Amino acid sequence: MVTVEELKNSVSRNDVEGFLRTFLLLILQGTTLSLPKSRLKDDLLIEWKDCIPKNAQFYTDDFIAQLSSLWIEVLTEQGGKPSDRFLEELLTILNNKIKKTIKKESIDPLLNEVSLNVSDDYYNDKKAREDEIFSVDILLTKVHESLKRERTDLFLISYLAIVIEDKNYKIPKITIPEKIQAQWRRIISQQLKLKHSLEFLERLSKRWFYILNKKGIPSTNEQIKEVLYFVKANAKEDKVKQIKATSNEGGFFSRLFNKKS
């Protein structure tokens, strides 16, 4: 189930699509929220401000403008016809838009496949999260594939999704580089029972250190989701960063991990 907290997080991230999706899901779950009635852009700029819960009213004018435009697009594609499945139809249209955006922006086919799965599973409705294609077993397969191909972001996307679903799986909750590496080694070797190269382990540990310094140590499922979203959003950029970090043995991360220059 989605929560109002996720609505607030969407505003914080300036994630208009995520906000609208969460807003519609909250209504489907029975949360008392209202939708704007007008289809005119100028009126919507006012109506959406009235519809957003008070504890999420820290949006910018640009956010409201984008939200109003997106609402018009989705409503127009649906036809604006009230029906028993009105909200579900709007969600289907919105989810398809999100999938197209992810597919267009992803440069790695395997990463794109997991991105779509995670998007359906953790950004979309409860039905998508319960679909068997997003089971822990499937995600474990993705983890195995990512280790074979030594893709750190793909590994984190898949593994964090598992952690959210299954409390038996843990993540390193410490910012000491040497201990991060030791904990990831234990997780991969003992819990996942998978083989890994030393190079992959070092890159993964550096990546995790970077993420924790950006997002803080996650202690709740909601915070782990935020880390997952962060990894997804920054996957392309950080591929370049992690290559540089690996090759630059005299750099900051190398010193932290006791590598000699």
CA distance 112 to 232: 10
Comparing C-alpha atoms, which of 95, 96, 99, 78 is closest to residue 35?
Answer: 78
pLDDT of residue 251: 44
Give the pLDDT score at 78.
86
- Say what the pTM is: 0.46
Q: Which residues of 119-130 are buried (b: 16+ CB within 10 A; e: fewer)?
A: bbbbbbbeebbe
3-class DSSP state for residue 124? coil
Q: How far apart are CA 10 and CA 14, in angstroms?
A: 6
Among residues 258, 261, 260, which one has the least CA distance to residue 177?
Answer: 258
Sequence-ordered list of residues with C-beta below 8 angstroms from that of 174, at least 6 positions apart, any chain: 180, 183, 217
pLDDT the model gives residue 223: 85
Question: What is the per-residue pLDDT for 64?
Answer: 92
Buried b (16+ CB within 10 A) or exposed e, 157-190: bbbbbbbbbeeebebbeeeebeebbebbeebbee
> 3-class SS at 230?
helix
What does the domain layout of the chain look like in residue ranges? Answer: 1-105, 107-261
pLDDT score recorded for residue 15: 85
pLDDT at 143: 92
Q: What is the Cα–Cα distance from 81 to 66, expressed in whole angstroms?
A: 23
Confidence at residue 182, expressed as pLDDT on a 0 to 100 scale: 95
How confident is the model at residue 237, as a pLDDT? 38
Q: Give the model's pLDDT for residue 5.
A: 84
**Which segments in the chain show pLDDT lower than 70?**
1, 101-134, 236-261
pLDDT of residue 14: 82
